[in-house]
Amino acid sequence: MTTDAAPQTRSFEADVAKLLHLMVHSVYSEKDVFLRELVSNAADACEKLRYEALQQPQLFGDDAQARITVTVDSESRRLLVEDNGIGMSESDLAEALGTIARSGTKAFMDRLGSDKEVEGNQFIGQFGVGFYSAFMVADRVDVASRCAGADTAALWSSDGLGTYTIEPIDPSEAPARGTRVTLHLKEDAGGFTQASLIERTIRDQSGHVPVPIFLKDGPDAEPRQIADGAALWTKSKAEIGEDEYKDFYRSLAGQFDDPALTIHYRAEGLHEYNVLAFVPGSRPFDLFDPERAGRMKLYVRRVFITDEAEILPRYLRFVRGLVDSSDLPLNVSREMIQESPVLSAIQKGVTNRVLSELEKIASHDDDRYRALWNDFGSVLKEGLYEDFGRREALLGLARFKTTSSGEAWRSLKDYAAALKDNQTAIFYANGTDAQLLASSPQLEGYRARGIEVLLLTDQVDSFWVNSGIDFEGKPFKSVTQGMADLDLIPLPEGERSPPADASAVNDFIAFAKATLGDSVTDVRASERLTESAVCLVAPDHGVDRQLERLLARAGQLGAAAKPVLEINPHHPLITRLSALGEDHQALREDAAFLLFDEARIADGELPLDPRAFSGRLTRLLERGLG
């Protein structure tokens, strides 16, 4: 029963009509955020009482266990959020709720000043605006509150349109201690009286606040606990069993496999935060979705803030987990965090730790790391192109199929140990299929000399190898680009004899260049061919041919560079063609074009002019049968 005092109608201390409209319609993008904000405020109230009770234990009375109780009332279309925290007096209500953006929590912390005992507190609110998100779903909000240890209570009420009322009420109409927020829901917000929705939202967004949370399915229902006030990531690893980690991972990641790697630690020092992260045991189905963001959740003092904070770089987007910061500043909406030195430090620390944990596995458990690389290696290699500062670490983690490895993975350290004398570069071949690459004619000279070649089949490989990268001072060089640079590494004795008539071969090469004209950049004798007659390579300063194809398909390339046709001067076919006299001019011309088209086909392309190719092939067959 209320007292005889009439309620006082007051105006908010701000241009509230505009400001509340901004709060309701602009600051928050998801309506259910109001529940997170109200639970956060309730948790703060409980934490304030805990602190005050250090000096005044009588404030607890007979009820020392903090709790938050959420009640759904579908019949009356109401939602109630109640805590047994510090509570508010009439003047507190006017100051805290009558002045938008005046945070009671912040004022409380300012009052504490440099008190050392405050260092362990877990206050959440910082900007004093989250409460007003309730008007996104409510036509009216009533706040009944009673200070701990007080005999009086007060009621704050508003429709969010510019004014509010405050009046004293009978203490029996308020909690015995603490605050009760009653939301009279709008017609289109009736779904928030569904207990299942409220429970799911609280578990997802506020399930780990430092206060137990109870849910009542109706005003007269028995409360049941839906959050225990304990966060798994705040416990020491010694307290947590493997099954607990697995269950948490599956709940967090929405997957049914076991984590391949669990990373759990607390960072202390200039910035304090807890990290619990997992590398999945299988590849997520949307790993290569270009719109896919990272899956690291951000909490501040165990309250969910966002899963779009970009804690980890995109090349670690397969990692699932969370970071819980104790001192990260937030912006007014708490849905997007500010660009701040604290966030940068967290990003750097978590990224380095994930890479460090991967390196430990790579160094000590080859089989386990091989499975990880099979699933996520193609994504990790994106970092070689995007993250210059961590290239050395990422190169150490990288694994490759090579012409010498068969089905095994090789590290660059393994490759460097097998370098030939006078080998000046790390050679690679780009394509889409490792087996086809291994049989490419461009690799013949390298294989004959025992030079290992990396077989790169991921699209990102075409980009990072062309970004000026090196390993232990050795640059990466494509076997399909420019000169082969094999002069200093001789073939084994007897592997290849000089052409029978070097002068005639040179004349035929010059003839082929003149015949092909603008179809090629150059025609030259090849160092890299030992078995095939011809192959195509990119010009010395041109784009690698695989990268050129990717850019062309993406519409990011103008006119493609003309390739270089390399001819094997030692091949019997070339020797015989070189010996033909001027009376076989037509045959030599057909042969030059056919050799060029043969090289294009070996490169996975169509003949330059399929109809002309068919005619030349027919004429050649007729000559052979004539």
Q: By the 8 A CB rule, do 211 and 46 touch?
A: yes
Does 120 carry a binding-site annotation?
no
Q: Tell me how far apart the alpha carbons of residues 262 and 354 are, in angstroms, rounded to a whole number.
A: 10
Q: What is the 3-state secondary structure (H, E, C) of 333-387?
A: CCCCECCCHHHHHHHHHHHHHHHHHHHHHHHHCHHHHHHHHHHHHHHHCHHHHHC
Tell which residue, 333, 292, 314, has the closest CA to residue 390. Answer: 314
Does 37 carry a binding-site annotation?
yes
Q: Tell me how far apart the alpha carbons of residues 364 and 356 are, in angstroms, rounded to a whole number.
A: 12
Does 13 carry a binding-site annotation?
no
pLDDT surpasses 80 at 396? yes
In three-state secondary structure terms, 516 is helix
**CATH of region 232-367:** 3.30.230.80
Place of tokens 């294009």: 600
Does 131 carry a binding-site annotation?
yes
| CB contact set of 233 (below 8 Å; sequence gap of 6+) | 208, 264, 274, 275, 276, 322, 324
Q: By the 8 A CB rule, do 429 and 455 touch?
A: yes
Of residues 450 and 285, more confidently modeled: 450
Mean pLDDT of the chain: 86
Does 331 carry a binding-site annotation?
no
- State both tokens at 484: 């082969």
In order of 3, 261, 311, 381, 489, the CA distances from 169 in angstroms are 6, 56, 47, 65, 95
Kindly state the average pLDDT of the residues 220-234: 91
pLDDT surpasses 60 at 571? yes
Q: Tell me how far apart the alpha carbons of residues 460 and 469 are, in angstroms, rounded to a whole number.
A: 14
Does 334 carry a binding-site annotation?
yes
**Stated pTM of the model:** 0.75
Query: Where would I find the H helices in 53-125?
Result: 90-98, 104-112
Place of tokens 């009286």: 193
Does 301 carry a binding-site annotation?
no
Share of the chain above pLDDT 70, in %: 86
Does 506 carry a binding-site annotation?
no
178-222 pLDDT tens trace: 999 999 999 999 899 999 999 999 988 888 788 999 999 999 999
Q: Tell me how far apart the alpha carbons of residues 47 and 108 are, in angstroms, rounded to a whole number.
A: 11
Does 458 carry a binding-site annotation?
no
In three-state secondary structure terms, 420 is coil
Q: By the 8 A CB rule, do 480 and 430 touch?
A: yes
Q: By the 8 A CB rule, do 323 and 266 touch?
A: no
Q: Does the CA dihedral 266-267-273-276 come out positive or negative? A: negative
* Domain 502-539+559-625 CATH (choose: 3.40.630.30, 1.10.287.3510, 1.10.390.10, 1.20.120.790): 1.20.120.790
In three-state secondary structure terms, 195 is helix
Locate CATH 1.20.120.790 in the chain.
Answer: 502-539+559-625
Kindly state the average pLDDT of the residues 98-122: 53
Locate CATH 3.30.230.80 in the chain.
Answer: 232-367
Q: Tell me how far apart the alpha carbons of residues 402 and 399 are, in angstroms, rounded to a whole number.
A: 10
In three-state secondary structure terms, 605 is coil
Q: What single-letter amino acid sits at 416?
A: A
- 604-607 long-range contacts (CB < 8 A, ≥24 apart) are 604/431, 604/436
Does 532 carry a binding-site annotation?
no
Share of the chain above pLDDT 90, in %: 56
* Domain 8-227 CATH (choose: 3.40.50.720, 3.40.1440.60, 3.30.565.10, 3.40.250.10): 3.30.565.10
Beta bridge mates, 427:
477
Locate CATH 3.30.565.10 in the chain.
Answer: 8-227
Q: What single-letter amino acid sits at 135?
A: F
The pLDDT value recorded for residue 583 is 84
Which burial class, exposed, middle or buried, applies to 10 when counting CB atoms under 10 A from its CB (0-12, 13-18, 19+)? middle
Q: How confident is the model at residue 336 (pLDDT cuts 50, 70, 90)?
A: low
Does 136 carry a binding-site annotation?
no
Q: What single-letter amino acid sits at 350?
A: V
Which burial class, exposed, middle or buried, applies to 241 when counting CB atoms under 10 A from its CB (0-12, 13-18, 19+)? exposed
Strands (E), 186-256: 213-216, 224-227
Q: By the 8 A CB rule, do 53 and 59 touch?
A: yes
Least confident of 16-30, 161-175, 321-335, 450-464: 16-30
Does 128 carry a binding-site annotation?
yes
In order of 9, 153, 166, the CA distances from 6 in angstroms are 9, 14, 9
Q: How confident is the model at residue 127 (pLDDT cuts 50, 70, 90)?
A: very low
Sheet holding 564-567, edge to edge: 522-525, 564-567, 534-537
Which burial class, exposed, middle or buried, applies to 621 when counting CB atoms under 10 A from its CB (0-12, 13-18, 19+)? exposed
Least confident of 19-33, 76-90, 116-130, 430-444: 116-130
The pLDDT value recorded for residue 392 is 95
